[in-house]
Amino acid sequence: MKLWQKETSVSEIVERFTVGRDLEFDIQLAPYDVLGSLAHTEMLASIGLLTKAEKEAIHIELKAIFKSIESGDFSITEGVEDIHSQVEFLLTERLGDVGKKIHSGRSRNDQVLLDLKLFMRSEIKNIVEGVDALFARLMSLSDQHKAVLMPGYTHMQVAMPSSFGLWFGAYAESLVDDLYALEAAYKVVNKNPLGSGAGFGSSFPLDRKMTTELLGFEDLNYNVVYAMMGRGKAERSLATGMAAIASTLSKFSMDICLYMGSDFGFIGFPDELTTGSSIMPHKKNPDVFELIRGKCNRIQALPNDIAMMTTNLPVGYHREMQVIKELIFPTIQDLKDCLFMAEFMLAKIKINDQLIAQNKYNYLFTVEEVNRLVLSGVPFRDAYKKVGLAIEKGEFKPDRKVNHSHEGSIGQLNHPEINAMMNKAKSGFYFEKWEKAFEELVG
């Protein structure tokens, strides 16, 4: 039986197609559906649609359901349409007609949108924690290997001296900007849609600001039509933020795969963190980073996938919105896994600290020589020509000392400033507000 079903039964074929993978993902929404119902029924009691006794009875059972979800004992009964129906049926089974009252003043449209926003808000916190852990690892490696030189490339040709400190630090700072992109998504997600109903509001005197406070939202989506338009928009915003992080991870993974190769030999990993070949006994393959690269390239396509799902839809709810779950839920998990694995692998990375001594890197230092001549008073164009002629004649002898001292260079990595930027980026999320609100709801 469905909440909306009358006398006519829906074709089993139609039901199977329309439900799709919804139940699989609804389990992940379960705790947020209960939290939303706790806030909603608190508000219903405040406007007289529930008595104090009814609200207290409902809250006792909702909190019991929440505990069963946390302990892993919760499931959606066969034949029940979705998580919203499951919670309502459990309440009705335990409380009788009182359980049927929890849906007053809301639609499944604003209910599922609320669940999704609560879910995405929580997952953004998990992603930020993963980014922060990887950032800390990169910064530690940058500091540890700041004096170890490595080749820098343009056009994949040896160009100028770089360092492992610069290389690791570059990706750490990239993650800072990625968090700003994720913060923009967080601001879209962190607005309360509850009370917008099916997208047209309600004749009940709902207190939408109350549920906003109870659920720890920063604000609410005021216009009820726009609130429903947020379905798909919130997911696309999150996808854009995740794509920024994925871009950094993918690029870094490509570097790792390249630099692990025997033609480069810049870095390595213990045997137990690499894989072998079924035919070539010498192989140590960077499978972890190849998979991170592949998964993160796919993540970067997600904003477009969601846009294509929603781009020609008129205002209001449409069933295509359900399919977005199939796109974004697994992708969130992929990104969290990639962040974890990147940090896990980097904890065991091995650096070739004698790399730069090889003769094939002699030409890395041509610009250094030009600059030394300029500093001694030789005009730049003359210095450039002199070094160029020495190279043509095979007479160039590099001085492998570098003296880069400006901000962000080999000699001044500006770690305190980059750490301060990361702290500022993290401070823009204010997770504490809704964490405290959740504790009060279920406490």
Whether 9 shows a pLDDT value over 80: the answer reads: no
What mean pLDDT comes out for the span 321-342?
95
Phi first, then psi: give them for residue 163, nearest 5 degrees. Answer: -150, 160
Instruction: Delimit the domains of the chain by residue range.
Output: 12-103, 117-149+162-193+225-357+414-442, 358-412
Q: Extract the runs of DSSP E, i.e. beta strands, from 323-370.
A: 350-351
What mean pLDDT comes out for the span 323-350?
96
Q: Which helix (H) or strand (E) holds 159?
A: strand 157-163
The Cα–Cα gap between 21 and 90 comes to: 22
Contact 153, 361 (CB under 8 A): no
Position 52 scores a pLDDT of 97
Q: What's the distance, Cα to Cα, between the start and end of the chain in Å?
A: 33
Identify the residue whose tokens are 């192989």: 283
pLDDT, tens digit, 9 for 90 and up, residues 354-410: 999 899 999 999 999 999 999 999 999 999 999 999 999 998 988 888 989 999 999
pLDDT, tens digit, 9 for 90 and up, residues 123-164: 999 999 999 999 999 999 999 999 999 999 999 999 999 999
CATH architecture type of domain 117-149+162-193+225-357+414-442: Up-down Bundle (1.20)
Position 25 scores a pLDDT of 83
What percentage of the chain exceeds 90 in pLDDT? 79
**Which residue intervals of 261-301 are DSSP H helices?**
287-299
Burial class (CB within 10 angstroms; exposed 0-12, middle 13-18, buried 19+) of 12: exposed
For residue 82 the two structure tokens come to 């979705």
What mean pLDDT comes out for the span 208-216?
98
Position 318 scores a pLDDT of 83
What mean pLDDT comes out for the span 179-188?
97
Burial class (CB within 10 angstroms; exposed 0-12, middle 13-18, buried 19+) of 409: middle
Position 4 scores a pLDDT of 45
Identify the residue whose tokens are 């970067």: 300
Confidence of residue 10 (pLDDT cuts 50, 70, 90): low
CATH number for the domain running over 12-103: 1.10.275.10
Contact 121, 186 (CB under 8 A): yes
Position 20 scores a pLDDT of 63
The Cα–Cα gap between 36 and 404 comes to: 56
Q: Is pLDDT larger for residue 305 or for residue 279?
A: 305
Contact 306, 239 (CB under 8 A): yes
Specify which residues 409 forms β-bridges with.
Answer: 412
What DSSP designation does 352 have?
-
Q: To the nearest whole number, what is the mean pLDDT of the chain?
A: 92
pLDDT, tens digit, 9 for 90 and up, residues 230-253: 889 999 999 999 999 999 999 999
Contact 269, 348 (CB under 8 A): yes
**Cα angle for residues 135, 241, 177 (degrees, 5° grid):** 45
- The amino acid at 366: T
Residue 214's region, left for phi above 0, alpha for psi from -120 to 50, else beta, is alpha
What mean pLDDT comes out for the span 298-309?
95
Confidence of residue 197 (pLDDT cuts 50, 70, 90): very high
The Cα–Cα gap between 317 and 231 comes to: 8
Whether 3 shows a pLDDT value over 60: the answer reads: no
3-state DSSP assignment of residue 265? coil
Q: Extract the runs of DSSP E, i.e. beta strands, from 300-378.
A: 350-351
pLDDT, tens digit, 9 for 90 and up, residues 49-104: 999 999 999 999 999 999 999 999 999 888 788 888 899 999 999 999 999 999 99
Residues whose CB is less than 8 angstroms from the CB of residue 289 and which lie 6 or more positions away in sequence, other chains included: 253, 256, 257, 260, 342, 345
Helix 415-427 / helix 164-189 crossing angle, nearest 10 deg: 10
Whether 18 shows a pLDDT value over 70: the answer reads: no
pTM: 0.92
Specify which residues 95 forms β-bridges with.
Answer: none
Position 96 scores a pLDDT of 95
